[in-house]
Amino acid sequence: MKSYLAAAIQMNSVPDLDKNLAQAEDLIDLAVRQGAELIGLPENFSYLGDEVAKMAQAEAIAQASARFLKTMAQRYQVTLLGGGFPVPTSGGKVYNTALLIGPAGEELARYEKVHLFDVNLPDGNTYQESETVLAGVQLPSVYPSKDLGHLGLSVCYDVRFPELYRHLSQMGAEVLFVPAAFTAYTGKDHWQILLQARAIENTCYVIAPAQTGRHNTRRQSHGHAMIIDPWGIILAEVEDKPGVAIASIEPSRLDQVRRQMPSLHHRVFV
């Protein structure tokens, strides 16, 4: 693993595939011009808004999203995470799929979100992700990149389930991706502290791309895409507008923290 720059992209995706991909391309270009070699896009980067319309065009969204990720990664010679997009299943639902693509345009890792957001919030909004999404059944794998470190995948609501991240750290993860479309209501209280907890307890870097702002008349995301170091320090953050958080991933810092706080070696229940 070498020292390198990573980017967590923040978007305001809407129910318009072409508009979202154009926004994502502009932000990828911005990240690359700042030197990023590892870039993460948020959950629902290619489409966010009306669920009925999304399901009606899920196949087109899936194909365009995968093609876009491969084209961008190859064009810019970066490793690129698409943090979540719908991939149709045979049963009429979709998998919320995160896809990691290498600089040659090759698929490195794929993860189908296992924890689905079925929640009635006090602000009056109800989210029933399971109405359209089929939960994945496999824990995410860790992709062992020689240059970028061991990369662990997750998606949004997963961040509330520390056992998933303990699995990733047991598999050797050094960098954890948490791409999200966190709600404005929950994000103001929980987003940052959950990310810092996952970084601290696993002594890993956390790269958390995010959605921000309003996506339709009802749905609003918290924003605050960030990169956190293994000690829990926020290295870079975007507030409430689309943009890019850039920070250096340093193997020496990872080693230092893990020497200072060797908690991964002190586990009793494995």
Counting beta carbons within 10 angstroms of the beta carbon of residue 33, is it exposed (0 to 12), middle (13 to 18) or buried (19 or more)?
Answer: exposed
Domain 4-265 in CATH 3.60.110.10 = yes
Residue 28's closest CA among 62, 77, 67, 66?
Answer: 77
Q: Which residue has the tokens 């698929």?
A: 107
The whole-number average pLDDT for the span 22-48 is 98
Q: How confident is the model at residue 26 (pLDDT cuts 50, 70, 90)?
A: very high
For the ranges 50-54, 218-222, 246-250, the maximum mean pLDDT occurs at 246-250
Catalytic residues: 43, 113, 156
Alpha helices in 125-210 (DSSP H): 162-170, 184-202
Q: Which two tokens stand for residue 221?
A: 């995301």
Question: Among residues of the chain, what percentage have pLDDT more than 90?
Answer: 94
- Please answer whether residues 10 and 245 qualify as being in contact, where contact means their C-beta atoms are separated by less than 8 angstroms: yes
Give residue 270's pLDDT: 80
The answer, as to whether pTM is greater than 0.75, is: yes
> How far, in Å, CA of 117 to CA of 232, rounded?
25
Backbone φ, ψ for residue 33 (5° rounding): -65, -20
**Using an 8 Å Cβ cutoff, are 157 and 116 in contact?**
yes
The H or E element spanning position 11 is strand 4-11
